[in-house]
Structure 1
């Protein structure tokens, strides 16, 4: 089913008759489907974040490419075909010229008609500050990368799938040459069926606790979702840890949506770090396990989001079903899909509160400074770059309060691609058993 054209969220109800067992617990259950027809609900706040991060990520990737260059600059010819690689909706040359506060244009030393670009002083200062953050939080970065590998079926991932995730996972640009070599007890480079792969060298039991389990252990989700007792119970047997859910306005109050949500939350939670190959791939338990894996992976990213295609490239390694992306539309209370910038991005709703990251990483603060310099340069590029303060004077840069207030927590129905019929009611539930 194409969710862009059908707009049909298949929501589960459960028959209490057990079908199979897992780890000696009778809890796999037969399913009947309740089809819930929902209009696509757009979250303007999250869409705005994804929109701004598209340009921010592209600028950061260009900054890293210039730093990698042996000449210290890039020519317009060399970046001409990078538009798709950078995820831009405009030509790369036009994009880089938008931000003279970061990228200084000058003629090539040997070919004056060839434009070249190098980093400005403030861009170099921001890069140096970024390197200090990487060094200070290196242990956290190593743990995050280990946990990503620990979720993989064979405890390894191809570099071709990992490199596009560098920015999302907060990995240094040269992590494959520096970080991996520095920690041979954690990582090893091996040859795989899809080229060179990064393999986990040593299993770390203390890392094998998911973010959902930590939240329950700390009581962050409240007693209604299991509380700390739920996590302790998990250590003894597979208990029902509930995911935090935040439905689009009006949908969560529907009785059948509530019934589905309660039954889904009662299913046992299988940690994404557990071996799942013994679970029936067509069972309800596997579906909750898939939700848990996607939730954990997104929780490990800096912004609690990534592109859907990046996850699709890891489908086999994460032991996900062929059509696992339907999970995102089936559980709109946990995930949010955005179609901004001609791509599909998926985020976990709990990662944001009032339009901002709930638990920001230090790297996100540095990137806010970077974006502030970008935006100021765009607004005042005709007046010179001298208007930009140095990084030490930028302070805690935040988005314009007026703009943010307009976007905070605003969700509304859209007649976009996710809608099946604009004349449908807000929520239409048809009980059809399959």
Structure 2
């Protein structure tokens, strides 16, 4: 049985070349009651974001050293990188914290200029990471294809994708090697503004089923929307419950007991689900249908990330390409059962709740497992500074037993939630925080 994505909407080539959409002039016929929700602190997810900040910065520095022609970086080149790396301490102080990865030495020509290269252990870990990338190549191609498939023109500027490399699990040289190895999937071309963009060459139909559709496949059975012209001519012709795929929700403490909130969520879940891979430009931007579509896009995007989270600013940079409303970030606080916002490390990060259970990833990616081992190595400190071979030999055996000492699991500790009858007409307090 064909999914919604292949029934309701035109295909990729039709949506780009033929001005037709079966969702033309869809409007909402009744408003869903909304309540105003106060942001609830989740210490477990805050801790995850906090501990991974140093790990990400170390990986970025490691990659920069690895691609350097000299195989080292000078202290001068690292001075202005603190903000770029998302650090709360000066970069040089940060690098010196981890002698297991970075070795300091004097510049060959200028002895007073400190330089940093990868230690033997750091180089081994980097080689290990390259091997994981090679073994996960098909998965990387799929993630990148899905990202481009969700955009309006099936392309994105490379400058918008590069900040997402860490979150999407892309190799450092994806824009060169992947394009060369998969010319039938990707092509790089120069846009009108002079910047390079990555474009999807063809539409892989097997990727057009969203994660929510996959998870609900057994549950929804034959509940497919009728695609006849009479059935799709207006929003009122969508019957409640038809293809109304439900999002998994993990309610904060005290949330589920609120009758108004429960009624709101029940109405929301009954709305038809619009796949993020469908052309949505004809949907009324102020309709409830569009709101569920926006939730679906954000849900799918976060599923594409290997940590099921990303910075809010990264999503803002993709707003137009993903056809998101101007104030789409209010969705994160409006649906706290699906998303969580953390303000750790002087930025705002959005987390997909269903991706975690008791502070750990539900379905860890091979790259996240390797990065957990790298984080363990970072935290071992000076004890293994000159014992790279020994730690690599015992790493697989000791990691699973000892990593819990370094990645502390905390039970969810949440404050009470305020619930009122008001609808959120403006950005929530957390939504207006500066990144």
Q: TM-score range by the shorter chain?
A: 0.7 to 0.9
- State how far apart, in whole Å, the 1-side matches of 2:161 and 2:88 are: 23
Q: Alpha-carbon deviation of 1:25? A: 11
CA distance in 1, matches of 2:392, 2:114: 27
Q: How far 1:36 sits from its partner (Å)? A: 2.6
- SS of match in other structure, 1:246: coil
How many angstroms apart in 2 are the aligned matches of 1:280 and 1:141?
34
In 2: Cα distance, 1:208 partner to 1:387 partner: 45
* SS of aligned partner of 1:28: coil
1:332 Cα deviation after fit: 0.4
1:430 matched residue in structure 2: 421
TM-aligned CA deviation for residue 137 of structure 1:
1.1
Q: Are the equivalent residues in 2 in contact too, given 1:248–1:411 (CA < 8 A)?
A: no
Gaps of 5+ in 1: 1-20, 220-226, 414-424
Could you tell me which residue of structure 2 aligns to residue 325 of structure 1? Answer: 329
* Alpha-carbon distance in 2 for matches of 1:333, 1:25: 30
* Alpha-carbon distance in structure 1 between the residues aligned to 2:82 and 2:224: 47
Asked if residue 303 in structure 1 is aligned to residue 307 in structure 2, the reply is yes
In the alignment, which residue of structure 2 is the partner of 1:394? 395
2:36 aligns with 36
Equivalent residue for 2:261, pick from 234, 257, 261: 257
Secondary structure of residue in 1 paired with 2:297: helix
Alpha carbons 1:154, 1:317 under 8 Å: kept = yes
Q: Which residue of 2 aligns with 1:154?
A: 153
Distance in 1 (alpha carbons) for counterparts of 2:184 and 2:26: 39
Match of 2:16 in 1: none
- The reply on whether 1:334 has 2:326 as its aligned counterpart is no
Aligned residues: CA RMSD: 2.3
Moved more, 312-321 or 388-397: 388-397
Partner of 2:14: none
2:24–2:283 CA contact under 8 A, matched in 1? no
Q: Aligned partners of 1:324, 1:433: CA distance in 2, in Å?
A: 12
Q: Quick one: distance in 1 between partners of 2:333 and 2:250?
A: 14
After superposition, the Cα gap between the structure-2 partners of 1:429 and 1:388, relative to the gap in structure 1 and judged at 3 Å, is farther
Asked whether 1:163 is paired with 2:162, we answer: yes
- Output one character per residue of 1:134-187: Cα deviation in whole Å (capped at 9) or x when no partner: 111101100110000000000000111100000100000011111111111000
Residue 120 (structure 1) aligns with: 119
User: Residues 306 and 193 from structure 1, CA distance in 2 versus in 1: closer, same or farther, beyond 3 angstroms?
Assistant: farther
Residue from 207, 216, 223 that aligns with 1:233? 223
Alignment of 1:80-159 (within 5 A): 80-159=79-158
Q: Which residue of 1 aligns with 2:208?
A: 208
Q: Is the 8 A contact 1:32 1:433 kept in 2?
A: no
Structure having the higher strand fraction is 1
Give the direction of change, closer, same or farther, for the CA distance of 1:133–1:401 in structure 2 (3 Å limit).
Answer: closer
Give the distance between the partners of 1:113 and 1:433, measured in 2 at CA. 58
> What residue number does 1:176 align with?
175
Separation in structure 2 between the aligned mates of residue 106 and residue 158 of structure 1, nearest angstrom:
38
Question: Do the aligned residues in 1 keep the contact of 2:27 with 2:284 (CA within 8 Å)?
Answer: no
Q: 1:357 and 2:347 equivalent?
A: no
2 CA distance for matches of 1:166 and 1:186?
Answer: 18
CA contact (8 A) 1:147 1:207 kept: yes
Aligned counterparts of 1:90 and 1:126: Cα–Cα separation in 2? 24
Within the alignment, does 1:60 sit opposite 2:59 as a pair? yes
Once the 2 structures are TM-superposed, how far is the Cα of residue 402 of structure 1 from its aligned partner? 6.4
1:24 and 1:278 map into 2 onto residues whose CA distance is 5
TM superposition shift of 1:427: 2.9
Aligned counterparts of 1:268 and 1:173: Cα–Cα separation in 2 = 39
Listed one character per residue, the Cα deviations across residues 33-57 of structure 1 (whole Å, up to 9, x for unaligned) are 433343x211111111111111100
Distance in 1, Cα, partners of 2:160 & 2:408: 37
Question: Which sections of structure 2, spanning at least 5 residues, go unmatched?
Answer: 1-20, 228-241, 426-435
Which position in structure 1 is the counterpart of 2:8?
none
1:98-147 CA-partner distances (Å, limit 9, x unpaired): 00000000000000010000001111111111111111110110011000
1:3-26 residue CA offsets vs partner (Å, 9 max, x unmatched): xxxxxxxxxxxxxxxxxx964998
